[in-house]
Copies of this chain bind each other. A is one copy, B any other.
Amino acid sequence: MTRDRLPRVRLRDVAERAGVSTTTVSFVLNERPGTGISVDTRDRVLRAAREMGYRPNAAARSLRTQVTNTIGLISDQIVTDNYGGDLVRGALVTALELDHLLIVVESQDDPEVERRLVGDLLSRQVDGIILATITSDRIGLPGIRHGRTVLLNCTSSHALPAILADELAGGRDAANALLRAGHRRGIYLVGEVAEAVRPARERRRGVAAALGEAGVELEGTIECTWWPESAYDAVSTHLASGEVPRALICLNDRVAFGAYQALADAGLHVPEDVSVVSFDDSELARWLRPQLTSVALPYFDMGRIAVESVLGLSEEWAASQQQEQLVAMPLRERGSIAPPRRP
């Protein structure tokens, strides 16, 4: 830390140095079309600005133009989460491309904090607000009153556009990957079964749909939470019962991790003995041995789309008004699926 702010160079200073009016400087610097500024004047202004290290004062400009080139991203706890960071990163990168800055805030799931943060953002006249959650479900809205608001990874009763992963199609893809390899029997689902959790619900529905269409039935469900330890326990218990599955559809990579551990402890090999497919495509998927085939959560894209939407630039904009926009979950095929063993 040194001293504080240096004396700022103002537009007027540049004007004086260049020997022109502030209007001229403003026109030149903003590259305003239709103003017949002479090349000579233009150059003088540009040079003066450069030499003096001029930097427009955003507050003054915003006050005048009512535009801040800033968008607010408020989340419950997204930055915390592992791949949740990608949501932010997609938004960050896109905002930058579109010449906007992102104010990121986290409510930590506290409605009181959320109210205050939204207020702060509104005070700052952000050009738009992105409301994101990691839980991917949401009812109440914190009394948002900003014309340009989009929901990211969540929905609400209010008629606001929402960007969501196409978990249903993702579920189908996961099941189809198994079917393509020839699996028909001994397929188990592993993970959280709560109906209230959108990703779990939709993924399961997608799996069931794809399997159903192929005339195949799930052999059963191995219930556990979203975490490795829980999955390890559940799968271990299941294996102890003597039933050996042919394929596991894990509701996320962490669950798959736990499943791998349980399988290994039981002397079972992936994918020779048991095929595994999963969701999220987190870093874990590439770290496991064999590497895990996983249906990727398109968080980066979703962040990108949210920014495009909130700035009203999305191509599908008109169509997506007050609608859910589903983003595809690409299947990343790796080494955890093989044809089933001959019985």
Contact = CB atoms under 8 A, between A and B. Distances in A.
Contacts of A286: 229
A114 to B, nearest CB: 11
B104 A92 contact: yes
A88 B79 contact: yes
Contacts of A122: 55
A68 B79 contact: no
Interface in A70-105: 70, 79-82, 84-86, 88-89, 92-93, 96, 101-105
A60 interface: yes
A85 B96 contact: no
Q: How many copies does the complex hold?
A: 2
Contact of A80 (B58, B86, B159, B289): B86
Interface string A6-45: 1000000000000000000000000000000000000000
B93 A106 contact: yes
A105 B92 contact: yes
Contact of A119 (B55, B79, B287, B312): B55
Contact of A106 (B6, B62, B68, B89): B89
A232 interface: yes
A326 interface: no
Contact of A79 (B2, B89, B321, B322): B89
A149 interface: yes
A342 interface: no
Contacts of A150: 1
Contact of A287 (B55, B123, B160, B254): B254
Contacts of A232: 289
Given A55-B122, A59-B63, A63-B63, A147 B287 contact: no
A264 interface: yes
A109 interface: no
Contacts of A3: 147
A287 B56 contact: no
Contacts of A6: 145, 147
Given A57-B63, A108-B93, A123-B58, A321 B1 contact: yes
A124 B101 contact: yes
30 contacts: A1-B147, A1-B149, A4-B147, A4-B148, A5-B125, A5-B147, A6-B145, A6-B147, A55-B123, A57-B63, A57-B125, A59-B62, A70-B103, A70-B124, A79-B79, A79-B92, A80-B89, A82-B283, A84-B85, A92-B105, A96-B105, A96-B106, A101-B120, A101-B121, A102-B103, A103-B103, A232-B289, A254-B287, A257-B287, A261-B289
